[in-house]
């Protein structure tokens, strides 16, 4: 006859009450709460109450560190100690037209640094890096740990799907937050992102924290708070971490979609591409290489002389993709032209992201497929002069019936005027461990 199960050391209700009443949760109780929820002892209803208390009352830096560490401890922790290269990763909070990972990973790897970029798929108006790369014929996102290590050693850059063993507590918490109105809680956002990034095993991390119309955090002050929280978490966990606050009020680059964003990324690697994509790619590369001990690296030269492109091609081939294959093209297009001449003064990111989603470039549910050829190509950006009747943007889809709803999303989201908009910097702030 087996003995009774050992009693639990804490009570979930006591943990909930402590946070509900604005107090701090003791470290051992908080670790237990995350572990007990992961193994199913703490119920969804109880964790929902706890996350709402966190949303309303916040958490101290130490509490967030403990919760993040407990989420890391719920699964495996990768290590690149035997690689013989410095590892540095980048994470973006997402936006519209944000394809920066694609040119950035091979660019940084061109300097002998290993870039283990574990990425995800898109949901809603923000695109997924893996969805973009799956536009390339043959390319595969799933790699074993042995394949990942070998590619980092031989090529230097990997962009692949994260394994299910990394921070499984986060997977449960993320799904719960999505249906309980607690997605916006900064301690929960920060611990969700950083638990996976720290478990990934990188030695250094650069965060691209976006604000504005097309960003997860529309308000710059909340984006700054999130950035500072995540830099603190990385620092407290021994991961050298910096963050850039970047503007996502206007779509990034000229391409919004999947296959068209791959084309634009290749243009950047070839030394061309839109100025804003180049600017952010270079800024993030400099941050990553500085953390890797190469603060004086000439990243623009690596794009001009073909080194970054060589790594891109090797990275795609290593994951069974054909870098020379034709990318998907749409069956149908619809071009919107300027109703008058003047200067483009506004293009709001969020409506354009929603429009691309409605064209088929994104998904409403995790199990939905994306249409790789669908999306939007901008012909002008704010500050550009356009003539009456000239193309402003082109919608692409496989089904022309999708155009009407996409156009509804964009209606009123762009303007042409007489005066140029005030210039603003894409990279607004830099946040380091010393500045928090």
Active site residues: 91, 170, 177, 192, 196
Query: What is the spatial distance between Cα 300 and Cα 297, in angstroms, rounded to a whole number?
Result: 9
State the DSSP string of 53-119: HHHHH---HHHHHHHHHHHHHTS-----TTSSS-BEEEEE---SS--THHHHHHHHHTTT-BEEEEE
| Residue whose C-alpha is closest to residue 105's, from 369, 318, 324, 362 | 318
Q: What separation in angstroms does the CA of 131 have from each of 96, 247, 260, 266, 387? A: 14, 23, 12, 16, 35
| Residue whose C-alpha is closest to residue 342's, from 293, 386, 296 | 386
State the DSSP string of 386-408: E-TT-EEEEEEESSGGGHHHHHH
Give CA torsion, residues 276, 97, 286, 425, to 10 deg: 40
- 436: Cβ contacts below 8 Å, ≥ 6 apart: 228, 231, 232, 235
406 φ, ψ to 5°?
-65, -40
Query: What is the spatial distance between Cα 338 and Cα 416, in angstroms, rounded to a whole number?
Result: 8
Query: What is the spatial distance between Cα 309 and Cα 268, in angstroms, rounded to a whole number?
Result: 9
Strands (E), 163-314: 204-211, 240-247, 255-257
Q: Which residues of 232-247 are buried (b: 16+ CB within 10 A; e: fewer)?
A: bbbbbbebbbbbbbbb
């Amino acid at each position: 006859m087996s003995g009774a199960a050992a009693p639990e050391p804490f009570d979930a209700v006591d943990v909930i009450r402590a946070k509900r009443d604005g107090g701090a949760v003791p470290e051992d109780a908080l670790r237990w709460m995350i572990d007990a929820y992961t193994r199913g002892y703490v119920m969804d209803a109880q964790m929902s109450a706890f996350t709402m208390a966190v949303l309303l009352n916040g958490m101290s830096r130490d509490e967030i560190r403990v919760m993040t560490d407990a989420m890391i401890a719920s699964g495996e922790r990768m290590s690149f100690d035997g690689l013989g290269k410095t590892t540095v990763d980048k994470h973006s909070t997402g936006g519209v037209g944000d394809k920066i990972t694609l040119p950035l990973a091979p660019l940084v790897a061109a300097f002998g640094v290993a870039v283990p970029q574990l990425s995800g798929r898109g949901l809603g108006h923000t695109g997924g890096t893996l969805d973009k790369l799956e536009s390339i014929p043959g390319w595969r996102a799933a790699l074993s740990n042995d394949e990942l290590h070998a590619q980092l050693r031989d090529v230097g850059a990997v962009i692949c799907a994260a394994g299910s063993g990394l921070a499984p507590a986060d997977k449960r918490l993320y799904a719960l937050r999505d249906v309980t109105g607690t997605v916006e809680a900064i301690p929960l956002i920060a611990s969700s992102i950083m638990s996976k990034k720290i478990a990934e095993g990188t030695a250094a991390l650069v965060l691209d924290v976006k604000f504005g119309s097309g960003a997860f955090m529309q308000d710059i002050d909340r984006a700054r708070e999130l950035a500072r929280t995540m830099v603190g978490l990385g620092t407290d966990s021994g991961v050298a971490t910096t963050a850039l606050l970047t503007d996502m009020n206007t779509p990034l680059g000229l391409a919004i979609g999947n296959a068209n964003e791959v084309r634009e990324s290749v243009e950047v690697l070839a030394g061309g591409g839109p100025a804003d994509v180049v600017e952010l790619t270079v800024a993030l590369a400099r941050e990553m290489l500085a953390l890797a001990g190469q603060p004086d690296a000439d990243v623009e030269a690596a794009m001009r002389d073909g080194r970054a492109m060589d790594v891109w091609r090797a990275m795609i081939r290593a994951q069974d993709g054909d870098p020379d294959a034709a990318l998907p093209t749409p069956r149908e297009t619809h071009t919107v032209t300027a109703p008058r001449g003047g200067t483009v003064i506004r293009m709001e990111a969020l409506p354009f992201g929603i429009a691309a989603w409605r064209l088929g470039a994104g998904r409403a549910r995790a199990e939905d497929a994306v249409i790789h050829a669908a999306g939007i190509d901008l012909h002008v950006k704010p500050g550009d002069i356009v003539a009456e009747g000239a193309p402003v943007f082109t919608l692409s889809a496989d089904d022309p019936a999708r155009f009407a709803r996409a156009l509804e999303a964009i209606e009123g989201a762009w303007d042409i005027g007489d005066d140029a908009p005030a210039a603003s910097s894409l990279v607004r702030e830099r946040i380091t461990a010393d500045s928090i």
